[in-house]
Amino acid sequence: MNYVLPHIDKLEPYKSGIMPKDHERAIRLHLNESPYPPSPEVLAALQHTSAEVLHRYPDPQCTELRQALADFYQVESSQVFCSNGSSELIGLLFRTLIGEHRRVAIPYPSFALYENVAASYQSETIRIPTDEDFSIDIDQLMACAADVIVLVNPNAPTGLLLPASEVERLARGFDGLVVIDEAYMEFVETDESVIPLIRELPNLLVIRTFSKAYALCGGRVGYALGNSSLISAFEKGRNSYHLNTITQRLALAALKDQQYMKSNAAAVRRTRDAFSSQLAELGFTVFPSQTNFVLCTPPANSQLTAFEWMERLMEQEIYVRYFNADRLRDKLRISIGTDEQMDHVIAQFKAALNYSD
């Protein structure tokens, strides 16, 4: 007997990056984690956590964190929803707003989790191909006959950014729900967020996370901003105590220390730009990233395929991301670590390419 629903049975589980065994030695450049620890304020909040927080149920409305986010973005707290990572939000999005047998348009390539969750809700994903250079054509996206459009901006795994004005044109020109995943927006120097537009556009939902620039991926906190009717749907659909007290406090402390987050994001940008130039000098094609990772194609004359490069680096305990997916098979996605870690990666590439300098 098979007790599993047929549409679930045929799903492939979402493939996250592998977890290195030797945590001490591993250079983790495959999960877009921050190379820097969370703010000292976060660590202080963690240390001041007493056993009492385990004894009592957490605040299911995340009142304090929600209010802090609302103040920060100058919106109402009824326009903010906090979640157990933005991954939980993506599930809630389908559970409460999109539902079954709907059509969801998303540029390709992009964050694969949306497709996986859509399939688990028996909704269809329409992949809108990006151009040769991975740029996204907003008009093409708008013209698709879909119920919902999802746009990751800056996009993953390409790192490319669309200006806020283009995203705004999309949100105004499309009648259905428009979901903008801004997981990497803190790394964008000019800030092309469309969060200010949620006050005005009832079909716009923005998803953010503490996982990347705030270095809190182990804590699992994401949030959504949108019209209060969208947000109240999440309130109705969520699990009862979905965000534990410790996590709520850590996110609050992280949010308050903007200076720390911003200086780390700036450091990541500097390292990324230097690393990208070095890759280009070695003959890699590097896509212009606005995030904490770069997508690149190893040089054609390097004798190794992208998959073999990934394996070669792994032998040196350097983990980078390889996607066995259309248009990505000849590429690597490399997260930005410290300067020292990136120098180490460049040294490995040089050695394998027989560079002498």
Ligand X SMILES: *Cc1c(COP(=O)(O)O)cnc(C)c1O
| Site residues for ligand X per CB under 6 A | 32, 85-87, 111, 152, 156, 181, 183, 209, 211-212, 217, 222
In this complex, which beta carbon is closest to ligand X, that of residue 183 or of residue 328?
A: 183
In this complex, which beta carbon is closest to ligand X, that of residue 67 or of residue 87?
A: 87
How far apart CA 329 and CA 350 sit, in angstroms, is 22
In this complex, which beta carbon is closest to ligand X, that of residue 79 or of residue 209?
A: 209
Residue 51: CB minimum distance to ligand X, A: 27
Residue 224: CB minimum distance to ligand X, A: 11
> Collapsing DSSP states into helix, strand and coil, what is residue 83?
strand
- DSSP-derived letter for residue 321 is B
In this complex, which beta carbon is closest to ligand X, that of residue 147 or of residue 181?
A: 181
Residue 217: CB minimum distance to ligand X, A: 5
144 is written with which tokens? Answer: 């698709």
In this complex, which beta carbon is closest to ligand X, that of residue 206 or of residue 282?
A: 206
Give the residue from 205, 15, 247, 3 showing the smallest Cα distance to 92: 205
Residue 84: CB minimum distance to ligand X, A: 8
How far apart CA 183 and CA 16 sit, in angstroms, is 16
In this complex, which beta carbon is closest to ligand X, that of residue 208 or of residue 269?
A: 208
Residue 134: CB minimum distance to ligand X, A: 15
43 is written with which tokens? Answer: 């660590």
Alpha helix (H) residue ranges in the chain: 6-9, 40-47, 52-55, 63-73, 85-92, 113-120, 138-143, 164-173, 228-237, 245-256, 258-281, 306-315, 339-352
In this complex, which beta carbon is closest to ligand X, that of residue 220 or of residue 249?
A: 220
Looking at beta carbons, which residue is closest to ligand X? 85
Give, in order, the Cα–Cα distances in Å from 4 to each of 122, 124, 232.
14, 20, 31
List of residues 6+ apart from 165 with CB closer than 8 A = none
How far apart CA 178 and CA 175 sit, in angstroms, is 8
How far apart CA 102 and CA 311 sit, in angstroms, is 39
19 is written with which tokens? Answer: 């977890």
How far apart CA 295 and CA 286 sit, in angstroms, is 6
Residue 130: CB minimum distance to ligand X, A: 15
In this complex, which beta carbon is closest to ligand X, that of residue 207 or of residue 282?
A: 207
308 is written with which tokens? Answer: 């073999």
Residue 56: CB minimum distance to ligand X, A: 25
Cβ(226)–Cβ(96) below 8 Å: no
In this complex, which beta carbon is closest to ligand X, that of residue 295 or of residue 352?
A: 295
Residue 103: CB minimum distance to ligand X, A: 20
Residue 251: CB minimum distance to ligand X, A: 11
How far apart CA 48 and CA 351 sit, in angstroms, is 47
